[in-house]
Chains A and B, each alone.
Chain A
Amino acid sequence: MREALPMTQFGLGMRHPHYSDFVAGHVPVDFAEVISENFMVAGGKPLATLRAVREHYPVALHGVSLSVGSATGLDLDYLHRLRALADEIDPLFVSDHLCWTRVPGFSSHDLLPLPCTSEALDLVARHVSQAQSVLGRQILLENPSAYLGFAQSEMPEWAFLAALCERSGCGLLLDINNVYVSARNLGFDPAEYIAQFPMAHVHQIHLAGHSEGEALLIDTHDRAVCDPVWDLFEAAMLRAERSVAVMIERDDAIPALNELLGELDVARGRAARAQRADAS
């Protein structure tokens, strides 16, 4: 039996239809997560909203534009703007994705996949260190959902991420739905991925829904978490080695807040069950 873990935190991704609920401070969550780029602006209502929310809740900053895997380097202007926001908000975490989004002169605004090669590991580790240095804090990287694999890959993604944490000192955001989507799309075993994932480095967990495309699962965040993803979550919580912040992400077809809070209660129940199983 392991020593009891510090309490798990439960939160929600804060999206526009629910801003006023969070501003009022009436949402029963431990933290809120926002998309960093939506608030990396000079002023206006978005920033005022975030400041008001921050008075009630710890806020995690989750980015989509760091492009930590870009072969041509990081965008320092972006990093300095993120630093300014982080310095003001004093976030619970600053996170982004193991991906690339741009090449010089072109930004895809999508989380594009990286091959798990030693070349990519060297580059991403260098960029993570540079980003942490500019930001003055540790960042978390999230495993992305993938729609194609690379013949060049030399190691599984979980091994890539474990090596990255050791080399750069970053932490991890484990997106359970992304594991499931990628596993189904690329043909690996999601349970084995979770069993091997370097949980000692995981600070945050994302839960979300996906949809069935013609040939592939699509990470749409437009519906409830499905049962196989809940099962993987429970398996991950059984292996948790530190306090983690668990949250539901919904980016499309956003339902009433109560529905999301109901899903978060399911997460609480599954986490508690994992902890009881671990203790027995």
Chain B
Amino acid sequence: MNLAAIQNAMADWLRTGDPASADHFGESARPGLEVYLNTYRMQLLQCLAEIYPKTLEWLGDERFYAAARQHIMAQPPASWTLDAYPASLAANMAGLCPGDAVTAELVQLEHALDACQTAADHAPLTRAMFTRLDWEHVVLSPAPGAQLLAHHSNAGAIWSALAHAQPRPAGSTTADPAHILVWRSGWVPCFRVLDSDEAVIFERLIQAPMSFTAACAELEQQLGQGAAIERAGLLLARWADEESVCASEVQYPAT
């Protein structure tokens, strides 16, 4: 066997545990191949358990590891970084636990909380900036790693109960989704349920930076002019206090 054939056979062994792949290496190699297979699988299981501790606690060891093992067989890692692997479980959980929207959304929330921890750093909007900024020229963007999740279940409440070692609520779902914003404040991952008018703004912010005047126009469309001005002030204060938004001034070239 040349190098490529050796590597393809070994990759097949790790992906499948198929004895036919091991046969290429001879019987004497079998103990070593078992070590590599065990290391490969244990590392992935450990990675998933570390990133999804609340989902593990919610499902219990037996159900969590059964789902994780099934996932590892169905979807082996492809990226150079192990950090990329947990995302695939979050995407696949609905299929692994059919009909269990609570678990699928809990794992999605945990993934968003983990992913924002290594997002690019940006200075957040602060109250001290309120009087310094020329708000006609302010562009808003979401905080590092921000994601907006549309949840039909009470996964957020379950996560909070598990995080604070409180009695966990029973899983439940609703027809209308709640919009949950996940972001990083300093080094701490955070989430909260958005009000409906905020959710409309964050839906746009997540896609692309948005001028403050466009955000005000959005509020005005929903609330009317007078209420929109008051609401914009309240939201800015909230976003500054929780560091969920970044703001910068953009100077347009003179025409």
Interface residues of A (CB under 8 A from B): 37, 40-48, 65, 67, 69-72, 75, 77-78, 100-103, 105-110, 112, 114-115, 117, 119-120, 123, 146-152, 185, 213-216, 218
**Which residues from A are CB-within-8-Å of B14?**
106, 108, 110
Whether the Cβ atoms of A123 and B3 lie closer than 8 Å is yes
Residue B144 is within 8 A (CB to CB) of chain A in the complex: yes
**Which residues from A are CB-within-8-Å of B119?**
42-44
CA distance A67 to B77 in the complex (A): 15
Query: Lowest 3 CB-CB distances: which A-B pairs, in order?
Result: A148-B32, A147-B32, A41-B118
**Which residues from A are CB-within-8-Å of B80?**
37, 65, 67, 75, 77-78, 101-102, 107
**Which residues from B are CB-within-8-Å of A65?**
80-81
Whether the Cβ atoms of B3 and A108 lie closer than 8 Å is no
Residue B8 is within 8 A (CB to CB) of chain A in the complex: yes
CA distance A265 to B79 in the complex (A): 39
Whether the Cβ atoms of B120 and A43 lie closer than 8 Å is yes
CA distance A41 to B8 in the complex (A): 29
17 more A-B residue pairs beyond the given contacts A40-B81, A44-B119, A108-B36, with a C-beta to C-beta distance below 8 A: A37-B83, A42-B120, A43-B118, A71-B7, A101-B80, A102-B11, A106-B14, A106-B78, A109-B44, A110-B14, A114-B3, A120-B3, A148-B25, A148-B33, A149-B29, A185-B32, A216-B35
Whether the Cβ atoms of A112 and B10 lie closer than 8 Å is yes
Q: Mark B189-217, 1 if CB is under 8 A from A, else 0.
A: 00000000000000000000000000000
CA distance A228 to B117 in the complex (A): 42
**Which residues from B are CB-within-8-Å of A103?**
7-8, 11
Q: Mark B47-84, 1 if CB is under 8 A from A, else 0.
A: 00000000000000000000000000000111111110
Residue B1 is within 8 A (CB to CB) of chain A in the complex: yes
CA distance A71 to B5 in the complex (A): 9
CA distance A152 to B5 in the complex (A): 12
Whether the Cβ atoms of A109 and B40 lie closer than 8 Å is yes
Residue B130 is within 8 A (CB to CB) of chain A in the complex: no
Whether the Cβ atoms of A106 and B3 lie closer than 8 Å is no
Closest to B77 in A: A107
Residue B39 is within 8 A (CB to CB) of chain A in the complex: yes
Whether the Cβ atoms of A147 and B3 lie closer than 8 Å is no
- Give the Cβ gap from B51 to chain A, nearest Cβ, in Å: 14
**Which residues from A are CB-within-8-Å of B2?**
71, 119
Q: Which B residues from 157 to 212 make CB contacts under 8 A with A?
A: 184, 187
Interface residues of B (CB under 8 A from A): 1-4, 6-8, 10-11, 14-15, 25-26, 28-29, 31-33, 35-36, 39-40, 43-44, 76-83, 116-121, 144-145, 184, 187
CA distance A46 to B117 in the complex (A): 9
* 23 A-B pairs whose Cβ atoms sit less than 8 Å apart in the complex: A42-B119, A44-B119, A44-B145, A46-B118, A47-B118, A48-B187, A67-B80, A70-B7, A71-B3, A71-B4, A102-B80, A103-B8, A106-B14, A106-B77, A108-B77, A109-B82, A110-B43, A119-B3, A120-B3, A147-B31, A213-B35, A216-B32, A218-B35
**Which residues from B are CB-within-8-Å of A117?**
3
Whether the Cβ atoms of B77 and A44 lie closer than 8 Å is no
Given contacts A44-B119, A148-B29, A148-B32, contact A106 B43 (CB under 8 A): no
- Give the Cβ gap from B61 to chain A, nearest Cβ, in Å: 20
CA distance A218 to B42 in the complex (A): 14
**Which residues from B are CB-within-8-Å of A77?**
80
Closest to B5 in A: A71
| The residue from A41, A72, A78, A106 contacting B76, defined by CB atoms under 8 A apart | A106
**Which residues from B are CB-within-8-Å of A102?**
11, 80
Given contacts A106-B15, A109-B40, A216-B31, contact A37 B81 (CB under 8 A): yes
Given contacts A72-B4, A107-B78, A115-B3, contact A44 B40 (CB under 8 A): no
| The residue from A69, A114, A147 contacting B35, defined by CB atoms under 8 A apart | A147
Whether the Cβ atoms of A150 and B6 lie closer than 8 Å is yes
CA distance A109 to B33 in the complex (A): 15
Whether the Cβ atoms of B118 and A44 lie closer than 8 Å is yes
CA distance A46 to B10 in the complex (A): 33
Closest to A41 in B: B118
- Give the Cβ gap from B89 to chain A, nearest Cβ, in Å: 15
Closest to B122 in A: A43
CA distance A117 to B2 in the complex (A): 9
| The residue from A40, A43, A69 contacting B121, defined by CB atoms under 8 A apart | A43
Closest to A70 in B: B7
**Which residues from B are CB-within-8-Å of A70?**
7
